């Protein structure tokens, strides 16, 4: 039996990257896993009746938490009552503390050490795997679990993959950026570049989709509102459903992902699933998926390079067409495959 941790996912009202991983992986695991929440013991998330896992069962979590947030959890994973497995996303709070929620920064070192007590860990990318094992070596931990890499699914809403798109000829080109509004996602760079291109007379729309980081996002919202007074091509969607995001993808020439740090980069994969090429930061973690085709990597935070890349995508029909065809035909990972890999490993 696999008991799948949905403690935070069951209470969340939005779908961040972490919440999407929990939701889509749980859906893909289906009847192979029983959803549970933590409350000083395992409780069934549907009936709230205490469950009693056997020693051969697995507790699997894709969530991030500290010991203080789950009283008794440390003793539970060390008790041997059940085998334990976890998914590791990233070490961003340690690498970029100045633009990360203070609570996450304070929690993350203990969380990474916590993972060393699990029986199995899967990282969401090779880059994140290297970060975790490197942290453990730096901490001098002698006993750590094996860490594999589990490819996350590109099929973000469960709909069939788009293998052919028919964007109306002559329509004003649209760019789509999906992600929480915050410094790490780097929408500020995108707004700077967009403003320059609009001022030069280039006709296009830029759609931003994502909730606002309450700790860091206010300046970005103010900047968006100010630019919208000058450039009507800038649109902001703060609470878009998956269906609405899919509709935006359907009419987009390309997605744009100027992020400065990621654990995996789901927006890139999800864009490709929609048949939409992605202009993305040239980060090693993103290159793990971008190098397969349909993507145009651009140097991180290089304003001149980003301006040139977006101008090319917006005006070069041959380039846009080639990237689109690559996006439509390349191999992409799915949540079904991720769940199958976990079931095979966990039994």
Q: CA nearest 25: which of 340, 344, 347, 345?
A: 340
- Mark whether 119 and 234 lie in a shared domain: no
Per the structure block, which two tokens stand in for 195? Answer: 């403003």
Q: Do 122 and 34 share a domain, yes or no?
A: yes
Number of domains in the chain: 2
**Tokens standing for residue 337:** 């495959």
Q: How confident is the model at residue 13 (pLDDT cuts 50, 70, 90)?
A: low
Whether residue 190 sits in one domain with residue 132? no
Average pLDDT along the chain: 92
Let me know if residue 185 belongs to a domain.
yes
Are residues 179 and 129 part of one domain?
no
* Cβ–Cβ under 8 Å, residues 84 and 58: yes
Give the pLDDT score at 121: 98
Residue 50 pLDDT level (bands cut at 50, 70, 90):
low
**Judgement on whether residues 97 and 71 belong to the same structural domain of the protein:** yes
Q: What is the pTM of this model?
A: 0.93
Same domain for 190 and 301? yes
pLDDT of 73: 82
Asked whether residue 107 falls in the same domain as residue 187, the answer is no
Q: Tokens 């009202």 sit at which residue? A: 13
Q: Tell whether 276 and 297 lie within a shared domain.
A: yes
Least confident of 4-18, 41-55, 79-93: 41-55
CATH number, domain with residue 101: 3.40.50.2000
Chain centroid to Cα 159, Å, comes to 18
Is residue 184 in some structural domain? yes
Reported as a single tens digit per residue, the pLDDT across 211-231 is 999 999 999 999 999 999 999
Q: Are residues 219 and 267 in the same domain?
A: yes
321 in the same domain as 179: yes
The boundaries of the domain holding residue 251 are: 174-329
Q: Does residue 173 surpass a pLDDT of 50?
A: yes
DSSP assignment of 305-327, as one string? HHHHHHHHHHH-HHHHHHHHHHH
pLDDT at 47 over 50: no
């Amino acid at each position: 039996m696999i008991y799948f941790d949905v403690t935070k996912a069951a209470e969340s009202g939005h779908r961040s990257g972490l919440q999407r991983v929990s939701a889509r992986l749980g859906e893909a695991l289906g009847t192979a896993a029983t959803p549970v929440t933590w409350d000083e013991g395992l409780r069934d998330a549907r009936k709230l009746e205490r469950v009693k896992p056997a020693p051969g069962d697995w507790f699997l979590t894709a969530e991030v938490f500290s010991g203080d947030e789950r009283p008794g959890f440390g003793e539970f994973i060390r008790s041997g009552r059940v085998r334990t497995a976890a998914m590791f996303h990233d070490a961003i709070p340690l690498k970029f503390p100045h633009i990360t929620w203070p609570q996450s920064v304070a929690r993350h070192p203990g969380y990474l050490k916590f993972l060393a007590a699990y029986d199995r860990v899967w990282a969401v990318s090779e880059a994140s795997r290297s970060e975790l094992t490197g942290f453990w070596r730096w901490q001098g931990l002698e006993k750590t679990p094996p860490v594999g890499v589990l490819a996350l699914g590109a099929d973000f809403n469960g709909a069939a993959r788009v293998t052919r798109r028919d964007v109306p000829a002559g329509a004003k080109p649209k760019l789509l950026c999906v992600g929480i509004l915050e410094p790490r996602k780097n929408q500020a760079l995108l707004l700077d570049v967009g403003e320059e291109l609009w001022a030069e007379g280039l006709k296009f729309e830029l759609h931003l989709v994502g909730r606002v980081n309450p700790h860091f996002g206010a300046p970005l919202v103010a900047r968006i509102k100010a630019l919208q007074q000058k450039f009507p091509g800038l649109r902001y969607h703060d609470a878009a459903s998956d269906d609405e995001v899919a509709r935006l993808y359907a009419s987009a020439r390309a997605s744009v992902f100027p992020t400065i740090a990621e654990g995996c980069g789901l927006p890139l994969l999800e864009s490709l699933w929609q048949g939409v090429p992605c202009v993305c930061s040239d980060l090693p973690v993103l290159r793990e998926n971008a190098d397969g085709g349909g993507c145009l990597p651009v140097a991180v935070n290089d304003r001149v390079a980003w301006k040139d890349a977006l101008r090319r995508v917006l005006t070069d029909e041959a380039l846009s067409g080639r990237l689109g065809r690559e996006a439509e035909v390349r191999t992409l990972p799915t949540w079904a495959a991720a769940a199958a890999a976990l079931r095979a490993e966990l039994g």
